[in-house]
A = this chain, B = another copy of it.
Amino acid sequence: MNARILFLSLILAACTASPEATEIADPTVPTPDFVLTADQTHNKFSSAIPAVVRVPSGSVIEAFTEEASDGQLLADASLEDVVNLDFEPIHPLTGPVYVEGAEPGDILKVTLHEIELGEFGWTAIVPGFGFLAEEFPDPYIKTFEFQDGDVTADFGDGIRVPLKPFPGVMGVAPATDEMLSTIPPRANGGNMDDPNMVEGTTVYFPVFVEGALFSIGDTHAAQGLGEVCGTAIEAPMRIVYEVEVIKGASHIQEPQYETEEYYAVTAFAETIDEAAKKATRYMIDHLEATRGMSRSDAYALLSLAGDLKIAEVVDVPHMLVTMHLSKAVFDS
């Protein structure tokens, strides 16, 4: 029985267990209209990958995700497993989902209603990969086990890492039928590895192909801003999300997102410096388009209250930077 089946079986067992073991459903989480299992995956971004399901705008989807290695690294992973890691299966993404009515130029709005961590995770230093790859030539692995209600991961030696589960990859299909690697993030989103995209976040994607073709995966139980060693706590999860097509919206060039507290833009580039410049421009564009601010007023306001944040520095060749602006600065 492989890990994904084990995980799914345990989830299903939990759902059908005796009444006293059944969790009371969170009333704020809508009931899923569609369920995608953790073996309904692909591992490239391309307009040529057929959808696994076709859904109306407004649908709620429950998606099970595999961890990033697609079962190569499990709860008992060894250093040898890290040395032998094949990058080709990375990252298995659950989807794509064809959203009816979505056309190029539209925006796909994705709301992360619920993110539930699976039962294990791993963190590795993979030789040749990571922000300081030349200084860390040796393989490294640490595995974790999780139980319901855990709020930290046991790193050992009295160190406990707060759990903040989120999907490292969310993206729509690009406007090409080439089979693109899922390692770098691009304008279609993808491997953004932004630890701020947690439960409760709404993400907006520019749509490049009919149906949008949305996929999700590479779920992370915990990750710092940067993901410096190249991996987070890579762990399977269950995610309930909602998709909605926004027609005739002003175009955005790369994904943007928001919570009740802030609005954020994302920007990728081959250097952090260039990504930071793009993010600053995107937020100025946003303030000009949505609030009618002059570009100079927007630029000055962002100097006082806009926060440039590094998301990841390891998904070569693309770094991802975001800019956040608190909604509290506006009266309405």
Q: Which residues of A does B touch, CB under 8 Å?
A: 123, 125, 130-132, 135-136, 138, 140, 142, 153, 155, 157-162, 222-233, 271-273, 276-277, 280-281, 293, 295-297, 299-310, 313, 319, 321, 323, 326, 328-332
Distance in angstroms from A258 CB to nearest chain B CB is 17
Distance in angstroms from A191 CB to nearest chain B CB is 15
Q: Is the CB of B276 within 8 A of A273?
A: no
Beyond A159-B329, A160-B328, 20 additional contacts (C-beta under 8 Å) are A132-B280, A140-B299, A155-B301, A157-B297, A158-B331, A160-B329, A160-B331, A162-B326, A224-B302, A224-B304, A224-B306, A225-B307, A226-B303, A231-B303, A232-B303, A272-B273, A272-B276, A273-B313, A309-B309, A309-B310
User: Taking CB as reference atom, which chain B residue is nearest A229?
Assistant: B303
User: Taking CB as reference atom, which chain B residue is nearest A195?
Assistant: B307
User: Taking CB as reference atom, which chain B residue is nearest A142?
Assistant: B300
A132 contact set on B, CB distance < 8 A = 277, 280-281, 299
Distance in angstroms from A3 CB to nearest chain B CB is 21
Distance in angstroms from A206 CB to nearest chain B CB is 22
6 A–B pairs (Cβ distance < 8 Å), ordered by A? A159-B330, A161-B329, A226-B276, A228-B302, A272-B272, A309-B310
